Amino acid sequence: MSTAPTNATGPSVDSRVEGRADATDLDRRRASRDVAIRPGTKHEARAGWMFLLPFAIVYVLFLIWPVIYMFISSMFNTSLVETGLGSFAGFDNYREMLTKEEFWKSLWNTLVFTAFTVPPLVILAFVLAVLANRVRRGQWFFRLAFFVPFILPSAAIALIWNFIFTPGTGLWNSLQSALGNESPSPVLGTPSLAMLGVAVTTVWWTIGFNFVLYLAGLQDIPRELYEAAAVDGASQWQQIKSITIPLLGPTTSLVILLQIIASLKIFDQVYLMTGGGPGLSTQVVLGLVTNTAFTDYRVGAASAASVLLFIVIVVVALLRQAMEWFSARRAD
Amino acid sequence: MDVPHPTFAAGRHSPRLSRRTLLQAAGGLGLAGGLAGCSTLSAGIAGTEVAPGTVQFWNLFSGGDGARLQTMLDDYTKKHGTAALEAATFAWGNPYYTKVSLATLGGHPPDVAVSHLTRAQNLARGGLLSEITDDMLAMVGLSADDFTESVWEQGKVDGKVYALPLDIHPFVLYYNIDVCQAAGVMDGDNMKPIQGLEQWESTLTAIKEETGEFALAVPTIADNATCWRWFYTLYSQHEGATPFLSDGGKELTWNEDIALKVLEHMQKWTTSGLMPKNADYAGAQTMMFTGRSGLYMMGGWEITTAQSVKDLKFGMTAIPQIFDKKAAQCDSHVFILPTMDRSAERTQRAMEFVKEMLDQSLAWAAGGHIPTFTRALDSQEFRDLKPQNNYAEVIDYVVFTPPAWYSGSGSTFENIIGAQIGLVAQDLATPKEGLDQARSQLEVYARTADPLATGEQS
């Protein structure tokens, strides 16, 4: 962390997250000058609001209001086929969710999916970025190869991997048969394997995004540092350990945060590949919310489940923030 | 990315894009998009008909059914012009009914939609369907007598009609003629009659010996609906098979002993290798098509797929009576009119469309369905239709998935119980574990107040 300011001048992804605890005097002086030269007349403030207005309206209508509505309707027996909120339910919807096996199972599955996907998506993306960054010729090919799956829509991804995981004739089971496994388990049809199958699919699909963030971070590290280290006799591994990893710290913390949130919001792949099955073995919270609201017509109960997921995500994000704060303190 | 990279610098020779060209291009695009989307957009905002005079029709038919429906729709557009119809096909199951519900609630439903009979009841209870009155039927020269009575009565909610049935589609048995002949279970082009568990199992054993692999293929993976169809057929063949759900789904009333016994049989057949443990929808039918299995079970609609397989000789028949009495799971495809403000003219158009589809019931029946339009059902053409006439009798003893607000074809109920049946057949759960798991999940739904009940008054 303490080394972060060395590359603070570059327009990089890092600059969004770094430099809180260790803002230099220069930064502080620049900030105060900005305040001093800001005109700040009433007229301009109004113009500013006008510029903001189109976005603000959309933001309030489609984000803020639905969130407020979610909190309100979670306290009512709101039905999709009725106008209005329906009868007051108090905390019944919450009680139902908190005592329902399907809810806990979905929440557990969501966390399992997060645990399955975050480490590979962070570590593998880092390794691939370091490797791709070392390629002298044809680097574009590797960048493209790792990023292309990310631009495919989830429906295409689901088709590709459903084909790979087809029981009997699919690529994966055929391979196992060829290697001598008499009756290979169908990945998406076996409760203990299905979530792993979805996780593998997700890693393949979304690793490109983290890869690009890391690659950008890597290209921000000045070459001189490596040259100086090489002159001092540092091995390749020591260079990675003592230069690359610390200087990519801000990128890593951004990637981890974004990844955890993305993984907790898992929906598409599960919906398209397994529909939550077999049984409840891949059902996730957003799947449960969708089913409750739009299949069971129970918007109120679904809102309660959404609020609970919202709380989980906020807690996880806060926990991670707290961990970072402690480690920064320790580093000082 | 401070370090310029060769690839990124490639654009420096190209003429620079000025702001003006960009705006012009964007304006052009916007204009083109605006013109194309204009009628739909304005209709959407004003809440008027998108294309006056057009019947909007939603359905859930894919595969063989989809192809057959298309020829029926083509017939309609040939008479009325291509502008007269706007048909859309969606994936069936819960997502389809969600779309129908949301479109109706949003005030822009299709004029006519296809539904399963077991789902139409819930849509009607939620106030999402228009009642079909005798006057409306009379508009196009129809009456209640034109439909098979048992199905017609099933479609009523509180004595009112909401569904016009097109067919009954039972769960049936397909057989590969070459394989079954070699196994000695055929009598001419038909299978030798099978009655009782012993004959059933000896037939399966004979076929398994012939194929060297399986006797009967039924999907066990990622096909909750078929797992349920197979299980419920066997369950309903028992004397003392109580209704699976009662009181609109508030009570789980299946006979535990019979249910366990059926699951034990299903598991025994897969673990002994008479049936595959792991087969998905496409995999199961491929096994019968390619002779890896002699028999296959599915709704009659797969006849179209089977006919398209080169050199495959196959037949279809009713599922034999394996236990105490005959029974076969089924559902019925019906036409529904989602709730909306309809002018008399618009109602007339919708009814005419339905009538013309019903008039083509025989074309539909060729797709493996049993027509419920009596003029087609009682016709000589249908009596002569092979192999449909092998199983047309099932109309007398079919069983529908029990009614509940969370039940029906492709519903939450079928997903919950079907998934557990699949796991039992895959030998990944014991019959007891599977049934207990299904019960604990279904109990939550049974306890939950019916969210559609409030819609009943409206």
Per-residue pLDDT tens over the stretch A281-328: 999 999 999 999 988 899 999 999 999 999 988 898 888 888 888 888
Q: Mapping DSSP to helix (H, G, I), strand (E, B) and coil, where does residue B270 land?
A: helix
> Has residue A60 been placed in a domain?
no
Q: Two tokens at B314?
A: 């196959």
- HSE-CB of B293 using CA atoms within 13 angstroms: 25
Residue A81 CB partners (closer than 8 Å, separation 6+): A297, B101, B105, B126, B127, B128, B451, B452, B454, B455
Of B283, B441, B451, the CB nearest to A168: B283
Do the beta carbons of residue A299 and residue A80 sit within 8 Å? yes
Q: Two tokens at B368?
A: 């493996």
* Backbone torsions φ then ψ of A283, nearest 5 degrees: -65, 135
Q: Which residues of A touch B91 (CB under 8 A)?
A: none
Q: Which residues of B touch A216 (CB under 8 A)?
A: 1
Q: What is the pLDDT of residue B14?
A: 39
Q: Which residues of B touch A197 (CB under 8 A)?
A: none
Do the beta carbons of residue B304 and residue B67 sit within 8 Å? yes
How far apart are the C-alpha atoms of A276 and A274, rounded to whole Å?
Answer: 5
Do the beta carbons of residue A295 and residue B94 sit within 8 Å? yes
Q: Two tokens at B38?
A: 């204009």
Q: Two tokens at B303?
A: 């006849």
> Has residue A187 been placed in a domain?
yes
Greater model confidence, B374 or A184:
B374
Q: What is the pLDDT of residue A136?
A: 82
Closest to B327 (Cα-Cα) out of B256, B397, B239, B267: B397
* Predicted complex ipTM exceeds 0.90: no
How far apart are the C-alpha atoms of B387 and B364, rounded to whole Å?
Answer: 14
How far apart are the C-alpha atoms of B267 and A177, rounded to whole Å?
Answer: 24
Q: Two tokens at A144?
A: 């493209």
Q: Two tokens at A35?
A: 């305040």
CA-CA distances (angstroms) from residue A265 to A62, A262, A268, A308, B316?
Answer: 18, 5, 9, 13, 46
pLDDT reading at A9 higher than 80: no
Domain span at A153: 95-331
Which of A295, A298, A303 has the highest number of chain B CBs within 10 A, making it the mutation to test binding with B? Answer: A295
- HSE-CB of B401 using CA atoms within 13 angstroms: 33
Domain count for chain A, please give it.
1
> Has residue A263 been placed in a domain?
yes
State pLDDT tens for residues A103-154: 999 999 999 999 999 999 999 999 999 999 888 888 889 899 999 999 999 9
Q: Two tokens at B137?
A: 């039927």
> Has residue A48 been placed in a domain?
no
Beta strands B328-331 and B398-400 are: parallel
CA-CA distances (angstroms) from residue B424 to A103, A182, A280, B264, B418?
Answer: 23, 20, 14, 8, 10
* Backbone torsions φ then ψ of A317, nearest 5 degrees: -65, -40
CA-CA distances (angstroms) from residue B192 to B175, B184, B200, B282?
Answer: 12, 9, 11, 27
| Contact: B441, A101; criterion CB under 8 Å | yes
- CB-defined contacts A:B, below 8 A: 117
Q: List, in sequence order, the alpha helices (H) in B191-223.
A: 196-211
> Has residue A1 been placed in a domain?
no
The rounded radius of gyration (Å) of the Cα atoms in chain A is: 25
Do the beta carbons of residue A300 and residue A93 sit within 8 Å? yes
Q: What is the pLDDT of residue B3?
A: 38
Using a CB–CB cutoff of 8 Å, tell me whether A6 touches chain B: no
CATH code for position A321: 1.10.3720.10
Q: What is the pLDDT of residue A39?
A: 55
Which of B454, B457, B458 has the highest number of chain A CBs within 10 A, making it the mutation to test binding with A? Answer: B454
> Has residue A226 been placed in a domain?
yes
Of B422, B452, B454, the CB nearest to A278: B422
> Has residue A69 been placed in a domain?
no
Q: What is the pLDDT of residue B49?
A: 61
Most confidently predicted of A248-252, A258-262, B32-36, B398-402: B398-402
Report chain A's mean pLDDT, rounded to a whole number.
85
> Has residue A83 been placed in a domain?
no
Q: What is the pLDDT of residue B33?
A: 43
pLDDT reading at A40 higher than 80: no
Confidence of residue A6 (pLDDT cuts 50, 70, 90): very low
Beta strands B85-89 and B55-59 are: parallel
Distance from the Cα of A206 to chain B's closest Cα (Å) equals: 21
A280 CB neighbour count, 10 Å cutoff: 24
Q: Which residue of B has its CA nearest to A173?
A: B278
Q: What is the pLDDT of residue B20?
A: 46
The domains found in chain B, sorted by start residue, are 55-168+332-387 (3.40.190.10), 171-329+396-455 (3.40.190.10)
pLDDT reading at A332 higher than 90: no
pLDDT reading at A4 higher than 80: no
| Contact: A82, B455; criterion CB under 8 Å | yes
Q: What is the pLDDT of residue B179?
A: 95
Query: Per residue of chain B (458 residues), what is the pLDDT tens digit?
Result: 333 343 333 333 434 444 444 444 444 444 444 444 445 555 555 555 666 788 999 999 987 889 899 999 999 999 998 889 999 999 888 889 999 999 999 888 999 999 999 999 999 999 999 999 999 999 999 999 999 998 999 889 999 999 999 999 999 999 999 999 999 999 988 999 999 999 999 999 999 999 999 999 999 998 999 999 999 999 999 999 999 999 999 999 999 999 999 999 999 999 999 999 999 999 999 999 999 999 999 999 999 999 999 999 999 999 999 999 999 999 999 999 999 988 899 999 999 999 999 999 999 999 999 999 999 999 999 999 989 999 999 999 999 999 999 999 989 999 999 999 999 999 999 999 999 999 999 998 999 888 887 544 43
Q: Which residues of B touch A298 (CB under 8 A)?
A: 448, 451
| Predicted TM-score (pTM) of this structure | 0.81
Residue A11: cis peptide before it, omega within 30 degrees of 0: no
Q: What is the pLDDT of residue B365?
A: 94
Q: Give burial (CB, 10 Å; 0-12/13-18/19+) of B20.
A: exposed
Do the beta carbons of residue B88 and residue B61 sit within 8 Å? no
